[in-house]
Amino acid sequence: MNAQRPYENIPDVRDGLNVKERTVLYCLKELEEARDGRNVPTAMLYGRVVEHVDMSIDELQAILQRFVGVGNS
């Protein structure tokens, strides 16, 4: 667990998102606006996300898969 952010993985009571999930959504929104609504490449998104939080590529992929519902039964 990160000593600087001990509550990083606890979902917020307002919307159920944790810090990493919220950061991914924020970066995705910013990049989509900068690209005039076009799709954002995952590599570009990852580059922006790691400027804000420490995250592996696998973590990003897992978050994106949860957002689109891949693997949910």
With cut-offs at 50, 70 and 90, classify the pLDDT of residue 3: low
CB 22 within 8 A of CB 8: no
Q: Which residues contact 28 (CB under 8 A, 6 or more apart)?
A: 40, 45
With cut-offs at 50, 70 and 90, classify the pLDDT of residue 10: confident
62-11-13-15 Cα dihedral, nearest 10 degrees: -20
Q: Which residue has the higher pLDDT, 66 or 9?
A: 66
- Boundaries of every domain in the chain: 19-64
Instruction: Convert the pLDDT of each residue in 13-61 to its tens digit.
Output: 677 788 899 999 999 999 999 999 999 999 999 999 999 999 999 999 9
With cut-offs at 50, 70 and 90, classify the pLDDT of residue 5: low
